[in-house]
Amino acid sequence: MTLDILNLPSYRVLQVEDADGDYQIKAETVSPPERCIHCGSDALVGFGRRENWIRDLPIHGKRVGIAIDTRRFRCKTCGKTFYEPLPEVDPKRSMTARLKEWLEKESLRHSFTHLADETGVGNSTIRMVFDDYADRLRDNLRFETPEVLGIDEIHLIRRPRAVFTNIPSCYVVEMLPDRNKTTVARFLSDLPDKGRIRCVAIDMWRPYQEAVREALPGVPVVVDKFHVVKMANAALDSLRKAVGGTLSPERRRSLTRSRHVLLKRFSDLSEIQRKRLAEWSRDFPVLAKAHVAKERFYDIYEAPSRSEAEKRYREWDEGLDPEVRTTFGPLLTAFQNWEGPILAYFDHRVTNACTESANNLIRAVQRMGRGYSFDVLRARILFVRHGAHKMKPFRRFGKRDLVAEEGMGYGLPSTEIEPEEISLGVDTSTLLDLIERGEV
């Protein structure tokens, strides 16, 4: 008797061969069909056979291929022919249903190439299995549209990808394959309940602004505060490097070590750091002028109102020393081109700090799973229901929820409703902890 190595009750194992380290198994169905699949008649006669090659889960660390001796029948009543249905086989692909389910789960943990080597299934087929699985996960999980939406980008797998966050709660709600205007605008246009959005925080990337204006007309755009002040620091640091290039190697290294003293807010410096700053300012007056200009620019963001901030910026612009004006040229140009969205910060007081934090955690997740494609990384972070998903009860009322007046309900919502949940987003810090513990 041939050993039932498959453990598939619907099949009878006819032969098992170990060919070059892989199992090749011949099998047939235990119960052939009794009625015609077209008309239901039981007047069937055999009409030939063919061999179907099916992949199955590895056994004993060896890849498994099943050659199923598939019978063909002809119906005497309707005259049509058909091959017997193959139970426990995925209807879309030449593999068992259990292999497909296993590949779905493992495709979130291993590269497609690794799974192809382990099972003998082609790379492209595993990709299609994963795509179907990711689509199903996405369709079963609905995200709430944030009131304050953050848009930033992260460089993953050689390309910048747009990341969207729920700023008040600091959760990730979407990752797109690129940051092009068309892609971003399409996502924004498809958002449900767009009227919830009060403002959108972005960096100074023109396609983001154009996409928001196109898809969310009337919604204010706020340029992230930290992207702006970072330009002031970058201007001062570029001047430090230029000054250092004129010094001896020893003094240049000393100035480099003092970089954090120049870039830190003066109010946050210790006494020793202030003395060091005074020494550099005495030796290099141009650095002192640039440092003062940087500090005064930071003061703009301490303004209590938009009008006061605008006034402080005009005074800062007019008061720039000619010797350092060129140094701050990129910042002046940026403010000229983005003045409205930059000053909108003082109306809404939102920043993209949580998106920046989320980006760092996404990079950490990527490092922990080298070989992930972007789609796998996105699905693993966003669509798998895990502890990092922050859910809340959700109910969308429709016509079927209203009790008719003749039913004494007077059009009020029915109390007999099915509970639903909606995702507020993914807390990536929790996600990182789950992955480190091997729970995702």
What are 389-437's pLDDT values in tens digits?
888 886 554 444 444 444 444 444 444 444 578 888 888 778 777 766 7
Look-up: residue for tokens 């590949």? 103
**CA 239, 242, 247, 250 torsion: positive or negative?**
positive
Q: For 220-245, give the secondary structure using H, E and C.
A: CEEECHHHHHHHHHHHHHHHHHHHHC
What 8-state DSSP symbol labels residue 384? S
Structure tokens at 151: 């848009």
Helix (H, G, I), strand (E, B) or coil at 117: helix
- Measure the CA dihedral 122/125/130/135, to 10°: 170
Strand partners, 422: 392
| pLDDT at 412 (0 to 100) | 45
Cβ contact 59:35 at 8 Å: no
| pLDDT at 157 (0 to 100) | 77
| pLDDT at 404 (0 to 100) | 42
Helix (H, G, I), strand (E, B) or coil at 363: helix
User: Phi, psi (5° rounding) for residue 98?
Assistant: -70, -30
| pLDDT at 418 (0 to 100) | 46
Mean pLDDT in the chain? Answer: 87
- Residues of the chain with confidence (pLDDT) below 70: 1-3, 355-372, 394-419, 435-436, 438-440
| pLDDT at 376 (0 to 100) | 83
pLDDT tens readout for residues 214-250: 999 999 999 999 999 999 999 999 999 998 888 888 8
| pLDDT at 398 (0 to 100) | 46
Residues 6 or more apart from 352 whose CB is under 8 A from it?
150, 151, 152, 165, 167, 201, 202, 203, 224, 226, 227
